[in-house]
Chains A and B, each alone.
Chain A
């Protein structure tokens, strides 16, 4: 949620039981503004909180000119000091999905190890190779945030618009969905790059907001 509207948006999502301490809220309001100035983001959002065994991670996301491609994730323990997370690459995603298991511990330098014994060759020539995949918790955090964004980041229809330069930006003339519109699931869209675009029928493509 946008750092400008943080103080009232938090009350609206409190129905699921996760709220923030008043101390954390105040710290967030201060630090997010500073973060925006230092990194020169267009908008900075409080992304959420990932629970760990010993410590919880608070995640913030900064958006640049293009809302979809220009995203940077940061994490913090006390809502004051923020550390940049590395962007998630495909190889990182592979490693994390193999090695990381169980809950987050709360220590970003904790290393998850995964031992795999691969056999190469056939029959008598079988060679056993031990493949050890090591991932540290920071990469796991980066990959988790990236995957959550890819799969469940949802925006109302009309909130974002593609400018003539090809940049995805906030639609300033978006007035919100009406009461009846907000009840329909069709009016909420995934905020991610299209997958399998060429295989969709023309009928489905008419439903999208902008395709080019």
Chain B
């Protein structure tokens, strides 16, 4: 009996102690709000699920993981949305540069490529201390290759990079294909015809009520140069980053070049930005870019003397037209680099100089085209015959740089060797002081020009924009439009009395005449 009771008591005691232990285990910790009971439950559940080997050795780590797992779960309610950054988009587009077409590539290696040896150019530019970093240059050259393939160009080279406030332009220079000249001329003529039609319609409406014609005659527009000659000799393509599509720039007109000479504006990086300036620029940023490219090319594209020779077609030296063609001289042997770095006469310009007019070949504007009416034409010819404008002449092609004019007390070019320590293998580097950013290098038979800069000419001390012209004189003053004072009241009355007296006197005269007649 007693043992049963004792057993009961001891089992009750055991149950009680178990219950108190469980209650103790269920008590939440003050620090972490967890309790031992739940923790051990989860731990054992995990052990049951995973059934690891040698559990007893890693039990502490499993316990630690369980504790950590609680914390992580609560914080993962917010997730980061993966956003495509601009860098990722660009990388996607640039990936296409590196793809190789699957067509037979062995044929390409035999045919002469229109691309120059790009790695070599990159190497020499790095020696000269100018360039865009190796990876950037490599990407640009791959983009050039893409351009050549997509447009089937004859010859293509990297012209340079023009920096802008929002983004930059990478410029490539290429030669026109033969069919393109006709296409461009057709589009130009179509545009002109449309303009003439609208003008004709306007003039018809005006004949109903003739308004006073203004005597203002705008200065005659200098005609554009034909494509393939002069300032439009090469076609230029631009892109923002290598890998993005190339955009072709329109041909340049002389009025755009003359206005570009007076204004000073940074490029924004978008081709359709309007150019607000005085004198007003005819066109948007694409035209302004093309005009600056034309000016920079004419001023800074140089080559070692003898590399190019004048075209052999022209036999007459009396011909006044400046020669505009040059050919690669097959007998060129290269000038030693030390000479090239020292004297400027070993370098020559191989792009035609742009005259004041804005073209490379001068056009006489005094000769009137047949569009004006005959009367006006005759009158004007008589006026302008005594002073014919003098033809503008620029330095002929292939003039050495020693003849370049100095501006603002700075020599136009600075030259040096790319390395003084290993001068046997150095290249001669030429830097323009008039167009900061224009560089040229020459090493033996190889040479290249590049421009990396903002697209602005050195302006000396400061740039002062041109002021608008004085206001035009109005109509000449004459008696019919000058104001006269209205007569005052006394004067009117005096005049009236005088008139009445005159009338009275006349009547008297008539009366006396009648009387005399009557008498007779």
Interface residues of A (CB under 8 A from B): 11-12, 14-24, 51, 53-54, 78, 101-103, 179
B419 sits at the interface (CB 8 A) = yes
**Shortest distance between the CB of B288 and any CB in chain A (Å):** 20
A78–B417 Cα gap in the complex (Å)? 13
Query: Taking beta carbons and an 8 Å cutoff, which residues of B are in contact with A?
Result: 85, 126-136, 161, 163, 168, 408-411, 414, 418-422, 431, 433, 437, 452-453, 460-461
| Chain A residues within an 8 Å CB radius of B453 | 17
Bound complex: CA of A101 vs CA of B410, how far in Å?
11
Closest residue to A24 on the B side, CB-wise? B129
A11 touches B419 (CB 8 A): no
Chain A residues in 8 Å Cβ range of B421: 23
A77 to chain B: closest residue by CB? B420
Interface pair B129/A15, CB less than 8 Å apart: no
Neighbouring A residues of B409 by C-beta, 8 Å: 102
Distance, CA A122 to CA B411, complexed state (A): 44
Whether A17 pairs with B419 at a CB distance below 8 angstroms is: no
Please give, as numbers and ranges, the residues of chain A lying within 8 Å of B163 by CB-CB distance: 16-17
Total CB contacts across the A-B interface at under 8 A: 59
What would 26 A/B residue contacts be, using CB atoms closer than 8 Å? A11-B134, A12-B133, A14-B131, A14-B132, A14-B133, A15-B132, A16-B163, A16-B452, A17-B132, A17-B163, A18-B129, A18-B130, A19-B129, A19-B132, A21-B419, A22-B127, A23-B421, A23-B422, A24-B129, A53-B410, A53-B414, A102-B409, A102-B410, A102-B461, A103-B410, A179-B85
With A and B bound together, what is the CA distance between A16 and B130 in angstroms? 9
The 8 closest A-B pairs by CB, nearest first: A17-B452, A14-B133, A21-B129, A11-B133, A23-B419, A19-B131, A14-B132, A103-B410
For residue B168, give the distance in angstroms from its CB to the closest CB of chain A.
8
> Contact at A53–B408, with CB atoms within 8 Å?
no
Q: Is the CB of B418 within 8 A of A54?
A: no
Residues of A near B410 (CB, < 8 A) are 53, 102-103
B511 vs chain A, min Cβ distance (A)? 84
User: Which residues on the B side are within 8 Å of A21 (C-beta)?
Assistant: 126-129, 418-419
Task: State in angstroms the CA–CA spacing of A78 and B131 once bound together.
Answer: 20
Nearest A residue to B415, CB-CB: A54
Contact A53 B411 (CB under 8 A): yes
Is there contact, CB below 8 Å, between A102 and B408?
A: yes
A24 to B421, CA, bound (A): 11
**Chain A residues positioned under 8 Å from B135 (CB to CB):** 11
How far, in whole Å, are A53 and B431 apart by their CA atoms in the complex? 9
Complex CA distance for A8 and B70, rounded to whole angstroms? 44
Contacts of A14 in B (CB 8 A): 131-133, 136
Taking a contact as CB atoms closer than 8 A, the residue among B126, B132, B411, B431 that contacts A22 in the complex is B126
Q: Which residue of A lies closest to B410 (CB)?
A: A103
A96, chain B: closest CB distance, angstroms: 15
Minimum distance in angstroms from A5 CB to a CB of chain B? 15
Q: Which single residue of chain A is at the shortest CB-CB distance from B429?
A: A21
Of chain B, the residue at the smallest CB distance from A53 is B414
CA distance A96 to B296 in the complex (A): 32
Residue of A nearest to B453 (CB): A17
Is the beta-carbon distance between B414 and A54 smaller than 8 angstroms?
A: yes
Instruction: Determine whether the beta carbon of B130 is less than 8 Å from that of A19.
Output: yes
CB closest chain-B residue, reference A27: B421
Cβ–Cβ < 8 Å partners of B418 in chain A: 21
Residues from chain A with Cβ under 8 Å of B420 in the complex: 78
CA distance A20 to B130 in the complex (A): 7
Bound Cα distance A116, B206 (Å): 63
Known: A11-B135, A53-B414, A54-B414. A103 touches B127 (CB 8 A): no
Question: B85, A17: Cβ atoms under 8 Å?
Answer: no
Question: What's the nearest-Cβ distance from chain B to residue A142, in Å?
Answer: 21
Instruction: For B125, give the chain A residue with the smallest CB separation.
Output: A19
Point out the residues of chain B lying under 8 angstroms from A51, CB to CB. Answer: 431
**Bound state CA distance, A14 and B126, in angstroms?**
11
| Residues in A neighbouring B128, C-beta threshold 8 A | 21
Contact among A12, A17, A53, A101 with B437 in the assembled complex (CB-CB below 8 Å): A17
Check A103–B130 contact: CB distance below 8 A: no
Q: Across the two chains, which residue of chain A brings its CB closest to B132?
A: A14
> Which B residues are CB-close (under 8 A) to A17?
130-132, 161, 163, 437, 452-453
When C-beta atoms are compared, the residue in chain B nearest to A52 turns out to be B414
Cα A62 to Cα B421 with chains together (Å): 27
Residues in A with CB closer than 8 Å to B408 are 102
Instruction: Give complex CA distance A51, B453 in Å.
Output: 14
Shortest distance from the beta carbon of A156 to any chain B beta carbon, whole Å? 18
- A24 CA to B452 CA, complexed, in Å: 20
Give the shortest distance, in Å, between B239 (CB) and chain A (any CB): 15
| Distance to closest chain B CB from A181 (angstroms) | 13
Contacts of B461 in A (CB 8 A): 101-102
In the assembled complex, which residues on chain B have CB atoms less than 8 Å from the CB atom of A101? 461
Docked complex Cα distance between A51 and B161 (Å): 20
Q: Could you say which residues of chain A place their CB within 8 Å of the CB of B126?
A: 19, 21-22
Q: Tell me whether B85 and A19 are in contact (CB under 8 A).
A: no
Give bound CA distance, A53 to B413, whole Å. Answer: 8
